[in-house]
Amino acid sequence: MTKVDSLSSPASSDRPGGHRGRTIAIVIAAVVVAALVVTALVLAGARGAATNAGNQQPGGGPAVIPGASTTSPQPPAPTATPATGKATSKPKVDPRYGATVDQTVGKNVDAKLSGGMTAKIVSIEPVDAKAIRAGETAGSAIKVTIALTNTTGKDVSLSQVSVNSYYGSKSTPAVALSNGAKPLHGSLANGATASGVYLFSVPADQRAAAVVTMTDAAGAPVTVFK
């Protein structure tokens, strides 16, 4: 080879084909790198979305921890009252006496009245009464003597003490008489005892079976002495 021929032959690296190969390789490498970067970004975004989804319930609520209750604790249920087998109802008015009956006792029994005082019928005597006021009837009657003891722990007014009598199969109300009557009145000190006398017009054949009712407070249930 002559010197002219050596100078005129370009190096293999300076050939047009060599430049194109390097360019293609660089482009491919750049594309691969870009693809890897894009893939990494996509995967990072997917992981972030998955994490956010795991921390949120549908509708934006807090995450549900497996095995944990999602409801607020409820207050303890009220304890049921044991059944007694007896129906509770409002006391009914006894049509015979026009009032609710608290108790029925014997005529010689010390009875605790609804208001807290203790009463006892000392005696019931048959008498012939005189009519003094309008509506009263002279003739056969009963005289009822009552002892009332204040066991309430405080002084009590006797103005609300009420005594009545009834007779016969239909519990007919006996008319109260004023001649000889000494109703309880005034105030009764705690621990003290007072006596009262009441007269009622009752047919002679009904006097032995007459019923006496008593209460020591207005509107309170009555105690029946019979």
Q: Give which of 55, 197, 34, 24 is closest to 121, Cα–Cα.
A: 197
Name the strand (E) or helix (H) holding 187.
strand 187-188
Domain 95-225 listed as CATH 2.60.40.1240: yes
Query: What pLDDT score does 91 carry?
Result: 76
- Say what the pLDDT of residue 8 is: 44
Grade residue 103 by pLDDT with cuts at 50, 70 and 90. Answer: very high
Nearest to 95 by CA among 173, 10, 181: 173
Average pLDDT, the chain: 80
- pLDDT digit string (tens) for 203-216? 999 999 999 999 99
Domain ranges (residues) in the chain = 16-54, 95-225
Residue 15 pLDDT > 60: no
Give just the sign of the alpha carbon dihedral 116, 122, 125, 130: negative
pTM score over 0.85: no
pLDDT digits (tens, 9 = 90+) for 52-88: 555 554 554 555 545 545 555 565 555 555 555 555 5
Of 11-20, 115-124, 149-158, the range with the lowest mean pLDDT is 11-20
Would you state the pLDDT for residue 210? 97
Give the end-to-end CA distance of the chain in Å, rounded to a whole number.
161
